Amino acid sequence: MHEEIIHTENKPKEKQNYVMLDLGKSPEFGLPAFKQVVKRSLNGELFVGLWVTLREMAKTLFMGGKHTTKYPMEKLPISPRYRAIHNMLRLLESGHYRCIGCGLCEKICISNCIAMDTRYDENQRKEVSEYTINFGRCIYCGYCAEVCPELAIVHGGRYETASEQRASFSLFDDMLTPIDMLKQQQEFQGFGSVSPNADAAIKKTPLAY
């Protein structure tokens, strides 16, 4: 066993403990080889293996230690930073959609997948007449959500995107929060927000870089 200090320019000095397995030289002939065979055969390592699997089986059966998530029935929570199918948010008071038709998202979109058209309504306010996102092209980079001045377009958590028609996702009304779900509308924390359990989820990385 020897210790090694790794020096890097911009990383703190890390001390790493590499353990060298001292297996020695394996005897090949005669009595020493025979002794090694007997020693290795009779020291019961095989039973350690048996014990481990039996212990895991007992844990699984009686202590609820199963790792399986039954996916379509059970789902793991995803991070609020997850960038899946977009959501269009509404104003909480009036229920009107937040989009002001500025067109920034269309401009910044690097895969050119947002297409929008606007017009003036009877009150001379700008309203969105067409708004589609081509999810065949979208790379889910999140620039549209980042650039939006009104927090109107954000990324949602809808990652199950198998569908019979592309139109199931890509229209403005499909992405818009349903008016009866307005109370449950989650405020977007901002692009790059941390998940609520971020502190608990921090683990020491196995390798010190």
Partner 1 sequence: MDALVIGTIIKVVLVLLIVSALAGFGTYIERKVLAFMQRRLGPTHVGPFGLLQIAADGIKLFTKEDIIPQHANKFIFSLAPVITAATAFIALSAVPLFPTFVIPESLPLIGGAIVPSVIADVNIGILFVLGMMAAGLYGPLLAGMAQANKWGILGSARTAVQFLSYEVVTGLSVLAPIMLVGSLSLIDFNSAQAGGIGSWIIWQQPVAFVLFLIAGFAETNRTPFDLLEHEAEIISGYVTEYSGLRWGMFFIGEYSNMFTVSILAAVIFCGGYGDLGFIPGSLALLLKVVFFFFLMLWVRASWPHIRPDQLMWLCWKVLMPLAVVNIVITGIVVMI
Note the residues at the interface with partner 1 (CB under 8 A). 37, 41, 46, 49-50, 52-54, 56-57, 59-61, 65-68, 70
CB count within 10 Å of CB 89 equals: 24
CB of residue 31 vs partner 1: minimum separation in angstroms? 15
CB of residue 70 vs partner 1: minimum separation in angstroms? 8
CB of residue 2 vs partner 1: minimum separation in angstroms? 30
Which residue number, 3 or 45, has a Cβ lying nearer to partner 1?
45
Residue 149 near residue 183 (C-beta atoms within 8 A): no
CB of residue 159 vs partner 1: minimum separation in angstroms? 23
Which residue number, 16 or 41, has a Cβ lying nearer to partner 1?
41
Residues 6+ apart with CB under 8 A from 143: 105, 108, 109, 110
**Among the residues of the chain, which ranges form H helices?**
30-42, 45-62, 104-108, 143-147, 167-170, 172-175, 198-201
Which residue number, 33 or 92, has a Cβ lying nearer to partner 1?
33
Tokens of 112: 């050119």
Which residue number, 65 or 95, has a Cβ lying nearer to partner 1?
65
Q: What are the start-end ranges of the E strands in the chain?
A: 2-6, 14-18, 85-88, 114-120, 126-133, 153-158
Which residue number, 52 or 167, has a Cβ lying nearer to partner 1?
52
Which residue number, 68 or 165, has a Cβ lying nearer to partner 1?
68
CB count within 10 Å of CB 204 equals: 6
CB of residue 59 vs partner 1: minimum separation in angstroms? 7
Residue 89 near residue 151 (C-beta atoms within 8 A): yes
Tokens of 165: 């028609």
CB of residue 50 vs partner 1: minimum separation in angstroms? 5
